[in-house]
């Protein structure tokens, strides 16, 4: 059943108003829903409402609540994915699939071998808006109730300076690794708590430069391999997220 997000201010007792223009257009013109059809709505407090459409107007759809439950469709981990920006379609896939996997934040990074060139602040803002919209649509499709935040585009040095904000940082490399990600995760499993902040760092299509690898080492970070295979950058990000979830999901 389709899911849409609504503000708590649009909910009064057993009635919920859908007022977003794009949602109204999608419900009426794409899904072709009519009065008495059912929808799933999610508010900003992560409650899910099963509703039926009771009235349709140009600027709103009025619905009646059939059922209200607290949703648990979110990952029980606090993961930030720091990913060197990929080419257009690969970056879109990365945002979509990492949202599906439950990350709380995605930090786009400009590293030495990042192929994508962003000319000015307006270009950066447009990219962030696009990726945030992709994440939002992905949440609707997979019934996730918490929408991940796309952080501002960050330089490699800015990323390094933020390392201390996290409890556990994971750096993925295709070569020159010091241990496997599985070994690293298991060694740190005893410190795992519900509010542990995890940072997963993945490079661009061209990998990390020698200078960047040395800077990771200077920060005391272990360089980790994902296994014997060399993955595409977007695949590597999904692999590391899957490994973290497998070992640590509460």
What are the backbone dihedrals phi and psi of residue 119, each rounded to the nearest 5 degrees, phi first? -80, -35
pLDDT value at residue 2: 72
CB 157 within 8 A of CB 211: no
* Surface-to-core class of residue 228, CB atoms within 10 Å of its CB (0-12 exposed, 13-18 middle, 19+ buried): exposed
By C-alpha distance, which of 67, 76, 132, 138 is closest to 106?
A: 132
User: Any idea how long the chain is?
Assistant: 250
Would the CA dihedral through 208, 209, 213, 215 be positive or negative?
A: negative
The two structure tokens encoding residue 56? 């349709």
pLDDT value at residue 72: 87
pLDDT value at residue 88: 79
Q: How wide is the angle at C-alpha 28 spanned by C-alphas 23 and 34, nearest 5°?
A: 125
pLDDT value at residue 192: 77
Name residue 60's beta-bridge partners: 57
pLDDT value at residue 194: 74
Q: Which residues contact 103 (CB under 8 A, 6 or more apart)?
A: 75, 79, 80, 81, 148, 241
Q: Which residues of the chain have pLDDT under 70?
A: 250
The two structure tokens encoding residue 120? 């000015």
pLDDT, tens digit, 9 for 90 and up, residues 37-89? 999 999 999 999 999 999 999 999 999 999 999 998 889 899 999 999 998 78
Its pTM stands at: 0.90
Tell me how far apart the alpha carbons of residues 109 and 124 are, in angstroms, rounded to a whole number.
11
DSSP of 51-105, one letter per residue? EEEEEEETTEEEEEEEEEEE---S-SSEEEEEEEPPPHHHHHHHHHHHHHTT-SE
pLDDT value at residue 61: 97
């Amino acid at each position: 059943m389709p899911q849409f997000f609504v503000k708590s201010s649009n909910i009064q007792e057993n009635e919920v108003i859908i007022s977003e223009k794009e949602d109204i257009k999608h419900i009426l013109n794409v899904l072709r829903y009519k009065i008495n059809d059912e929808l799933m709505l999610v508010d900003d407090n992560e409650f899910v409402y099963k509703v039926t459409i009771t009235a349709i107007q140009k600027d709103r759809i009025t619905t009646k609540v059939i059922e209200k439950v607290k949703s648990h469709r979110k990952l029980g981990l606090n993961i930030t994915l720091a990913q060197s920006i990929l080419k257009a379609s690969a970056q879109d896939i990365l945002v979509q699939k990492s949202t599906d996997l439950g990350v709380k934040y995605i930090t786009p990074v400009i590293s030495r071998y990042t192929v994508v060139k962003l000319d000015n602040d307006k270009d950066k803002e447009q990219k962030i808006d696009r990726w945030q919209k992709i994440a939002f649509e992905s949440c609707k499709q997979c019934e996730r109730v918490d929408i991940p935040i796309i952080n501002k585009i960050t330089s490699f040095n800015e990323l390094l300076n933020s390392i201390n904000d996290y409890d556990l940082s994971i750096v993925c490399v295709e070569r020159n690794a010091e241990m496997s990600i599985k070994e690293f995760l298991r060694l740190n499993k005893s410190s795992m708590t519900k509010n542990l902040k995890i940072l997963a760092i993945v490079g661009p299509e061209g990998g990390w430069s020698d200078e960047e690898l040395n800077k990771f080492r200077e920060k005391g970070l272990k360089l980790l391999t994902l296994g014997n295979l060399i993955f595409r950058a977007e695949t590597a990000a999904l692999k590391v997220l899957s490994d973290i979830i497998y070992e640590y999901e509460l």
